[in-house]
Each structure stands twice: as structure tokens, then as C-alpha cells.
Homo-oligomer: A and B are copies of this chain.
Amino acid sequence: MSSNVKRLNEYWTDIYFHMHYPHKEKISHQVIRILQLVEKKEEVGVNEVATYLQISHNTASEHVKRMVEKNLLFKERDLLDERRVLLHLTQPGKDVLHRNTSLDEGKLEQVMNQLADEERAVVEQAFKLLSEQAKTCL
């Protein structure tokens, strides 16, 4: 049973290795993780960043500051609690995140076109299923 899981992970990493975008930009791992967090979660502030990355809040604050300077994020004040900051991706932030975590759309389209209609449907269904179930994880 857990061998199935290992096999799935091998497929998973193979897919990413062969279909990711080329590595162009010099970008740090922490920056990518913060972009992921801000994209996927509602209401992310500096404290959520610190908790998620297991770093101190002042370091998180500095990450955010640099990312704002680089125009990857922008800040908004929470109107209900003006101590809080709400983070959002800028368009360049979305682009950087996409190039560093998604599959290359050109390659993916090419690969999907090589499949039979039936197989394409299987892939769509599987990804949908898994992403829905994934959201139930703690």
C-alpha cells in the first residue's frame, strides 16, 4: 500500500522534472514559498508567513519588505484590525510563481495532445479528485 504512494511520488517528480519551465531567474526558496502561501491562502499577513516558514516575525517582515520592493507583493491594511497587513500577489509575483511551480503550459498541452480522448479525461479527473481531497489535509 505505501509502495503505491512511493510510486505516485516517483511519477509526480518525473512529471515536474520533465515539464517545468526552464530555470531563468535567481530566486530564493523562501521567496517561492511565500508566494505560494499568499496565492493559496486567504488573509495572509506577516505572522502567517513567519509561522508557515518557521522563522521569526522580524525575519518574515523583512522578507515581505524586500518582496514589496521587488514588486512581487503588495500590502493592504486590514480595515477591521489596522494592525494587520494583508498580502497579495502583484502580476509580476504571479508570473514568477507560475514559472517556478507550475508545469510549462506549452509542454503540458503538447503532452495532453499526445493522449487519446479517454486518457485525457482520466488525467483531468485524477487531478481534480486529488486536488479536492488534498484540501481536506490538516
Contact = CB atoms under 8 A, between A and B. Distances in A.
Interface residues of A, number: 62
A93 to B, nearest CB: 14
A12 B54 contact: no
Interface stretch (A72-80, A84-92, A121-129): A121-129
Nearest to A108: B5
Interface in A28-54: 28-29, 32-33, 36, 39-40, 52-54
Stoichiometry, copies per complex:
2
B131 A11 contact: yes
A124 B33 CA distance: 27
B36 A13 contact: yes
8 contacts: A9-B108, A11-B131, A13-B36, A18-B131, A23-B33, A23-B54, A29-B100, A126-B127
Given A18-B135, A23-B54, 16 more contacts: A2-B105, A2-B109, A4-B112, A5-B108, A5-B109, A6-B105, A8-B127, A12-B102, A13-B40, A13-B102, A15-B130, A15-B134, A24-B54, A111-B134, A123-B129, A126-B126
